[in-house]
Amino acid sequence: MLARLKSLFAGAPVTSATDLDDRMMVRALDLACDAAAIGEVPVGAVDYETGTGTVLGQGSNRREIDKDPSAHAEHIAILAAASKVESWRLSHCTVVVTLEPCPMCAGLIVNARLGRVVYGADDPKAGACRSLFSIVDDRRLNHRAEIIAGVRRDECSALLRSFFKSLRGRSKE
């Protein structure tokens, strides 16, 4: 029984990030810094065509500014990409995001049929790729995306830690 359960939840094999993934993560980190500068949680995302490297969408968190609970970086990037290619099917795309996607964004990744997910920092409280849930590559679902975790993990984590440390410092004043 345990072996059966493990097989249901076993994800796709882990592969390595490409140089293009790394360059896109640098861009996502820049977007995350932009989010922090306007008081948003510093998460950035880039959606690009896997074969060509053409950027189709990008975004940073805008939940506070837009008063929108769905305004996560990867959600914004995926919607922009779908609009640009005029299709909800993004199987030819990779989304690169500085923080492991949450359940909402992981569901969107599955529903948009994204081919690959590359993320930086793990999210032990809400991560839905590996940390808390495995939605993106759950064998019970009709689509699974390849997951590459930990790209520029230290930089992504440091940015988040710094942001939340500054928030805690402001709340004491």
Residues designated as active site: 74
Q: How far apart, in whole angstroms, are the C-alpha atoms of residue 106 and residue 69?
A: 15
User: Tokens 């640009």 correspond to what residue?
Assistant: 84
Q: How far apart, in whole angstroms, are the C-alpha atoms of residue 66 and residue 60?
A: 12
Q: How far apart, in whole angstroms, are the C-alpha atoms of residue 24 and residue 97?
A: 9
Spatial CA neighbour of 109 closest among 133, 86, 93, 87: 93
CA distances from 158 to 33, 43, 59, 111 (A): 11, 12, 20, 31
